[in-house]
Structure 1
Amino acid sequence: MSEICVERIYEEVISDLPNDLLIHILSLIPTKDAANTMLLSKRWRFLWTMLPKLVIDFNFADTTSLLKSIYNCKTLVNLTLSNKILVDVPSPACLPSLQSLNLKYVMYKDQDSPVRLLASCPILRDLSITRGGGECDNVTRFVVKVSSLRKLTYIQNGYDEDSTMSLVIDSPGLHYLKVDDLLGVYRSIQNTPALDVALVDAVNTAGFHANFMFLRSFSSVRFLHLVLSEIACCSGINFTWLIEFKLTLFGSKSWLEPLMLILDNSPVLKVLMIDCYYCNIVPLSWNKPSSVPVCLLSTLEILEWKDYEGGREENQFLAYILSNSKCLKTVGVSPKYYYNRKEIMDDIKSMYRVSASSHLLFSAQWEWSFME
């Protein structure tokens, strides 16, 4: 029997298998290879679109469109589109089973394409968006309005001072938000009463401080991580439910006093983590507050400080925290420089601690325990 005949027999046997088994077989190979099976015969033409998970990244030099049938796939649960895939959503479109969507450096047919795509996902829970500046992205106003959404990750790469890009979030079920923004886009966060975890990196944004009002949307979060060059914009916000606060600073001019105001507005704070990355550009200033923040007297249990330089103002601030934090259990300090590490350790050990049961920990490379 010739090899050609044997191959045809195998093809016929495989093609006669039920859809469920064929789909399981296709799920074991890369999406690109699964999609190529459409060329085998009519029997295989649409089988790959019935997979519960698709990762479409063909790495073409030019923009590539998807099959329209994908936007009406009833079984698709997890979809990843990347590298200039053209998002051209037909009408109608419906992805009734889609729970996770990852859009990474894709192109959109028009401004409404991402809106139509998200509107076609009635049970979407996890959305990840990575965008680039300039010609890499053709949508200026990106609207995320998904009532079922629980987790949103938005990464904006590139840098353009003249950028007109904006992000609008209106998702009442949102629980977790991560925004990593290098373009300084305008952000509007509305109707997010369930937001519990927020991580925002906006250190390099030129127009950020003119657009800090969106931070007020985080007043009810319990876990907050901010990467900023200035924190004065946060000092007037009441963080009523904040339990863990991680602050990473880049070149901040004056942050000790604004931080004390934040502590004063965080009555149930238990964990405070500070990373003073590149904060030695200008001298710090410190004035002892007239009253002790409530969280120091009743709730603060953990203090972690990375890149601690041991200057006069830092020592005064830390000494104030130690002498007033009655519930403090652990203090972790990572000196910024090795040459004065012993001196810093001796200074901190000599500081008065009102919580006699608190423990001091020192590390050259402190590992953050934040819940990321």
Structure 2
Amino acid sequence: MMPKLKFDYRDHKHELGTFSNNVCTTLLSHTAPVIQKVEYQSGQIYRFPRTLYNFKTLETLQLRFNVLINVPSTVFLTSLRTLHLHYVNYKDFKSVLNLLSGCPNLKTLSVHRYPCSNTVKTFTIAVPSLQRLSIYNSNGGQQDWGYVINATSLKYLKIKGICGLGFCLIENVTELVEANITDVSDIFNENLVGSLTSVKRLSLRISPLKVKFPTDNVFYQLVHLELHACKEAWFNLLTLMLVSSPKLQVLKLINQWRCEKKRVARGEWNQPNNVSECLLFHLEAFMWKGYKWQREDEKEVAKYIIGNTKRLKRATFSSRRIKPSERVEVVKELESVVRASNSCKLVFE
């Protein structure tokens, strides 16, 4: 009668052969009117019981490590709202399609994969009800591997660690509110960023040299942008995003401390010939976390934003390992900039 079940092979490691039997027996004997959650983690390849795919009251399913997904053509997980597929194995691509098509009310999906660890080369996610999707790949891939995402109700998208894959095709995501694209590179065929033009909040930790950038697309709905300033040619990405985001209201730049020791070809900051529309009419908040006040190029970027943003209300800077005397000098230099907005308040944390 328990509404939540968790199976962990480590509880059975001293009794070989009992884990699979106990899992099957428990699921087959379960008689509660509603089963809310099933979590399964295995140390050996284990074929999950097909009876699980007909639990009409199951609300959350988590499958982790060495589970073999061999899904029959008929799946009835009509109450399933949350699904985690973390480093599991799939018999074939049909098993993925059958599993997801049998979840008509799925809201949250999390997929973690080793790119070359199973037989599914094209991982298709076609779930009209899906609202939150997270995809994580360990580094490495092949040109004939990739993802196809078709989710008309999707509100939140996170993609991390997709490197060297052939494609990541995203379609029909016109309701997207927030997207987070991290450590993605060498997507050979598809324009990943260009499919996200309807997003309102966007976080990018990518290099424009590694990912195709949609120079002819406009992010008309984007109001909040976060860029990580530790990727190759990130200055170019900043310029492109300012031009492509006419309604941007919040801009946040991040220099992570662990990137300080890496030598990254940042490129040169070339001040745009024309001030972008977002700086003239909409940007109100500018934040720079990990501002490297010693670098002349970062000083120029900061001065450009402050000096050309007419509706800026607050500009916040923070820096690591700075002495009190150095802090005073940095503040003086920023204060000396002729600000386009008379109401702009400068804060150095």
Q: Percent same amino acid at aligned positions? A: 30
What SS does the aligned partner of 1:217 have?
A: helix
Distance 1:29 1:173 in 2: 30
CA deviations 1:170-191 (Å, max 9, x no partner) are: 1111111110124332200112
DSSP-derived class of the 1:317 partner: helix
Aligned 1:198-347 pairs, distance under 5 A: 198-203=179-184, 205=185, 207-208=186-187, 210-211=188-189, 213-230=191-208, 233-252=213-232, 254-277=233-256, 278=259, 281-282=264-265, 284-310=267-293, 311-335=295-319, 337-338=321-322, 340-347=326-333
Match of 1:128 among 103, 106, 110: 110
1-structure distance, mates of 2:312, 2:86: 43
CA distance, structure 2, for counterparts of residue 38 and residue 212 of structure 1: 43
Relative to the length of structure 2, the TM-score reads 0.85
Task: Work out the CA distance in 2 between the residues paired with 1:76 and 1:217.
Answer: 33
SS in 2 for 1:213: coil
Structure 2 residue runs without a partner (length 5+)? 12-20
Deviation at residue 284 of structure 1 after TM alignment: 4.3
Q: Do the aligned partners of 1:80 and 1:102 also contact (CA within 8 Å) in 2?
A: yes
Judge conservation of contact 2:231–2:264 (CA < 8 Å) in 1: yes
Greater gyration radius: 1
SS in structure 1 opposite 2:192?
Answer: helix
What is the aligned counterpart of 1:355 among 332, 335, 341?
A: 341
**Cα distance, 1:167–1:347 mapped onto 2, change above 3 Å:** same
Query: Is 2:183 aligned against 1:197?
Result: no
Which structure 1 segments of 5+ residues have no match? Answer: 1-22, 364-372
Answer yes or no: is 1:157 the counterpart of 2:135: no
Q: Find 2:153's aligned residue among 173, 180, 202.
A: 173
Residue 367 of structure 1 corresponds to which residue in structure 2? none
- CA contact under 8 A between 2:248 and 2:278: conserved in structure 1? yes
Q: How many residues align?
A: 329
TM-score (norm 1): 0.80
Cα distance in 1 between the residues matched to 2:24 and 2:219: 55
Cα deviation 1:161-207 (Å, max 9, x = unaligned): x463201001111111110124332200112111121111134x3x2
Query: 1:97 deviation in Å?
Result: 0.9
Q: Distance in 2 between matches of 1:284 and 1:337?
A: 24
Structure 1 pair 349–50 and aligned structure 2 pair: CA distance change class (3 A): same
Q: Take 1:229 and 1:317, find their aligned partners in 2: how far apart are those partners?
A: 18
Which of 157, 179, 183 is the equivalent residue of 2:163? 183
- Following superposition, the deviation at residue 336 of structure 1 comes to 5.1
Letter in 2 for 1:296: L
Point out the structure with the larger helix share.
Answer: 1
Letter paired with 2:146: S
Amino acid at match of 1:218: L
